[in-house]
Amino acid sequence: MPSIVVVGAQWGDEGKGKIIDYLAKYVDVIVRYNGGANAGHTVNIKGRKYVFHLLPSGALYSGKTLVIGNGVVVDVAQLLDEIRTVEEAGYRVNLILSNRAHVVMPWHKLIDKASGGKIGTTGRGIGPTYTDKMWRKTAVRISDLISRNFRDKLREILKLKEHELKHYGIIGDSVEEYLEEVYSSLSKLVEAIKPYVDDVSLRLNEFLDQGKWVLFEGAQGTMLDVDHGTYPYVTSSNTISGGACTGAGVPPTRIDVVLGVAKAYTTRVGKGPMPTEIRGEIAEHIREKGGEYGATTGRPRRIGWLDLVVLKYARRINGFSNLALTKLDVLSGIKTIKIAIGYELDGRKIDYIPASSEEYARVKPIYVEFPGWRDISRDEWREIARSGVSTMPKEAIKYVNFIREELNVDIAIISVGPSREETILLKDVFNIKEWGRY
């Protein structure tokens, strides 16, 4: 039965939240498999804007099972806050939280804030939590947090981390005092979180056995993947489609569809190379029109033209043959639009992403230019969404067709505005007809 991974093809913020929210109506289960509260999914429903950092984006559909997999790092207080927001909006939260997921501890956030500047992290404790996960001796999993021995475990960890935490000024003279402070703040949350905790791999595989439809929601994007992104200017998890398997405990043989999501241009938050970055009037126009400010940190996003070298790389690594193209409306009213089709590195033409970020920072994009199209009002985009893609301006059709042909993908969805009504569906990505579900 269909299971689908929705994955960002650029540097995150591709508009996955909206696409997932749009697809969520078809599925029974929505799973987060990587990252933590560094992500920010914005969903607009009935004129109200909701931002989730940990809950899957489909949280505002009733009757869905939401899952947070073992690959996620969980800020428990933040998660409980989001659950409360959804409940206050009148929805029931049916959540399964992996007992194998790691907990973002108070010191992780402080260390990240004190030392994440070089990479431009979100300060949510992501890197330090994954560091402890990989180091193993100093990590806290959800299963530790809810165990009766949590205080002893915490004491052991603080013994090993004392030197580091003193270095950052997190612990003063008394380790015991700090231990009690952390213990009392976290143990208050244990009873609230316990009912959600379960074995996610077991439950997900059962759901798939029962024929339930499962959507895996990638956080961040391909170019921020810890292995395949622009290292070291990346996040600390596997953001790519393969991350769904490791981060939720489902085998690759159980994934049916991978849907890539790309913005019609490029954005990036934080530091690191971005070959098609532009500054000046057009960048400002796109930033303002597209609301390009970080959903988690509020930082202005860096803006650039669409980069097909990046998208081809993302297509290869994630294996998507379907693409959702978002924010096409934002490009309206620009006289000439560019797309990068290759790079030049030290006078040589290349069509790949160099492993070294120093080299990647030196590449110069090779562009093709497209005539833009007139500014189009929200109402007109809604009308276009209702009447179909052929009613788009012919220049916009040409732009989209070029991307489709160059990438050799099916453009399944075009998003032309934040609301559910501003979505053009071109292809039934789930083969819904074939599976007999409308």
Choose the binding region for ligand IMP from 84-92, 120-128, 245-253, 351-359 (rule: CB under 6 A).
120-128
Please, which residue, 300 or 354, has the CB nearer to ligand IMP? 300
The verdict on 56 binding ligand IMP (CB under 6 A) reads: no
Distances (CA, A) of 275 to 109, 224, 355, 426: 31, 15, 14, 30
d(CA 164, CA 108): 11
Please, which residue, 55 or 269, has the CB nearer to ligand IMP? 269
Task: Return the residue matching tokens 């819904």.
Answer: 432
Structure tokens belonging to residue 29: 């289960």
Angle CA 38–43–47, to nearest 5: 140
**The CA-based dihedral angle spanning residues 37, 101, 16, 48, taken in that order and rounded to the nearest 10 degrees:** -50
The verdict on 243 binding ligand IMP (CB under 6 A) reads: no
Q: Is 81 a catalytic residue?
A: no
d(CA 333, CA 282): 10
Let me know: does 50 contact 56? Beta carbons within 8 Å. no
Measured on CA atoms in the order 166, 169, 170, 173, is the torsion positive or negative?
positive
The verdict on 127 binding ligand IMP (CB under 6 A) reads: yes
User: Residues 80, 81, 120, 147: which binds ligand IMP (CB under 6 A)?
Assistant: 120
The verdict on 15 binding ligand IMP (CB under 6 A) reads: no
The verdict on 55 binding ligand IMP (CB under 6 A) reads: no
The verdict on 235 binding ligand IMP (CB under 6 A) reads: yes
The verdict on 361 binding ligand IMP (CB under 6 A) reads: no
User: Residues 12, 15, 56, 290: which binds ligand IMP (CB under 6 A)?
Assistant: 12
Distance of CA 173 to the CA centre of its chain: 40
Please, which residue, 206 or 227, has the CB nearer to ligand IMP? 227
- Count helices and strands in the chain by DSSP H and E runs: 15, 21
Smallest distance from ligand IMP to CB 237, Å: 8
The verdict on 38 binding ligand IMP (CB under 6 A) reads: yes
d(CA 230, CA 224): 6
Choose the binding region for ligand IMP from 33-41, 90-98, 133-141, 376-384 (rule: CB under 6 A).
33-41
The verdict on 17 binding ligand IMP (CB under 6 A) reads: no
Please, which residue, 221 or 365, has the CB nearer to ligand IMP? 221
Let me know: does 125 contact 108? Beta carbons within 8 Å. yes
Choose the binding region for ligand IMP from 15-23, 228-236, 360-368, 373-381 (rule: CB under 6 A).
228-236
The verdict on 129 binding ligand IMP (CB under 6 A) reads: no
Smallest distance from ligand IMP to CB 100, Å: 20
Structure tokens belonging to residue 359: 């080299």
The amino acid sitting at 412 is A
What are the backbone dihedrals phi and psi of residue 153, each rounded to the nearest 5 degrees, phi first? -60, -45
Query: What are 425's strand-pairing partners?
Result: 413
Rule CB under 6 A: which of 257-316 touch ligand IMP?
269-270
d(CA 399, CA 390): 13
The verdict on 326 binding ligand IMP (CB under 6 A) reads: no
Q: Is 13 a catalytic residue?
A: yes
Q: Return the active site residues.
A: 13, 41
Residues in contact with ligand IMP by CB under 6 A are: 12-13, 38-40, 119-122, 124, 126-127, 219-220, 224, 233, 235-236, 269-270
